A = this chain, B = another copy of it.
């Protein structure tokens, strides 16, 4: 009674259609959140690649169905980015695992999947097609494509593909389609997402017209766009047998030395020579005659050789300490005056580039303390990766682990849950070690965790100075309170005792024992 199993092949589009949960398309509320973030992030990438300050316009409008539950909405996103060449549009939007994000370079998108998942979700819930309009330059014609995705075949079905004159010398991309959404349940997360995006992309204008007709504008605080990341070759510490095998197949290098120099970052002739000696890869080996065992030997040597230069970070585009501080102050409503007067603290810190599994990364952290920060019994954590805010599954994130389990906050004069403290962690990498395709949280790779710990500890030292001073001030204030309370009584009593009529003036005496100027009014109010 053998039961025969039926085997079948499915397309990549079909796989992600069946498993849309794992890409963040779980429910109508989660799906609309994911749709918006994937499209906004593609748009931001398209602008930053060109170095232009992003202008993103986003509109979500209710089409049919209930407004307080899942209904049909139309979504439109426009940007002033790079634009997509007309002949690429169908595949770029209608074919899963086709895209420009499969490079060693820091981008928000990393799976080349998000935008297509948004379209796919719209299609399977509303059966409608998507309209994409794009221009690659002010002098180019505008291409308009209307398409659907053939999920079983993983290929676009083109309903319309036309070019139009570019009267307004426009460059950018606009996309519009219908999708099922539950805005009432997703609203707060969507607005959170935009607000946090405005922190980490302080040079972007984001306009959002919501289904209730409300206009949200997040205006840029600067037009400086961080240097666009460049594409890079792999670092020798980050390769595996497959990568080297692929390079060996296509290289035209005649010697191993040339091969190493040409296809890996930070390897010059001298390093290549020294490394090959270390690897005992004799002169007789060339890229052509490497056996599988040689490749394994080479890769193992690459992983273990310690004298390679640290990975090139030109493929990374961190925000920088100043911009991060600007974003934080904006978000928390902290002014420079607050900081100057010691009522609030904002400290940011960028670590040097580091590497995990051969992928370069940079950790930036911010620590802020201010009475504006709600304590709620915990430390407030903001997580960012490649300039994307991460809003879900906080407790599974490496930063959460570091902040709540590793750091002993008492060393920094912080009483967790009592001291108002916000921690910002930004990880930039050519490959963020996300644990889900939905880009919600970062895996606890030891090297990454280590850098986050060190960044927070380093930043913590300055925070400690601020909090120590604050503590000292509080003690001092108590001391003053005693003087303020008793000096007048002593004066009164002494006057009586000396049978004088006029009490001596105590205020001068009081001022002389003050160390730091008058106590702050705000803080007194708070107490």
A interface residue numbers (CB < 8 A to B): 1-3, 5-12, 14-15, 17-19, 21-22, 26-27, 49-50, 82, 84, 88, 91-92, 95, 97-100, 102-103, 111-112, 123-127, 136-137, 151-152, 228, 240-242, 245-246, 292-293, 295-296, 299, 393, 395-396, 433-438, 443, 445-446
Contact = CB atoms under 8 A, between A and B. Distances in A.
Given A9-B95, A17-B242, A436-B436, 9 more contacts: A3-B49, A3-B82, A7-B92, A8-B99, A11-B97, A26-B445, A124-B242, A126-B296, A127-B245
A62 to B, nearest CB: 16
Nearest to A95: B9
Contacts of A112: 10
Contacts of A27: 445-446
Contact of A21 (B9, B127, B240, B434): B434
A437 to B, nearest CB: 6
A184 to B, nearest CB: 14
A82 B395 CA distance: 41
Contact of A102 (B10, B50, B97): B10
A289 to B, nearest CB: 16
Given A97-B9, A97-B11, A98-B7, A22 B126 contact: no
B22 A435 contact: yes
Contact of A292 (B8, B12, B127): B127
Given A97-B10, A97-B11, A3 B50 contact: yes
A329 to B, nearest CB: 32
Contacts of A434: 21-22
A445 B433 CA distance: 25
A424 to B, nearest CB: 22
30 contacts: A3-B50, A3-B228, A5-B84, A7-B88, A7-B98, A8-B99, A9-B91, A9-B97, A9-B98, A12-B12, A12-B15, A15-B111, A18-B102, A22-B22, A22-B434, A22-B435, A27-B445, A124-B240, A124-B241, A125-B240, A126-B296, A127-B241, A127-B293, A127-B295, A127-B296, A151-B242, A395-B395, A396-B396, A435-B438, A437-B437
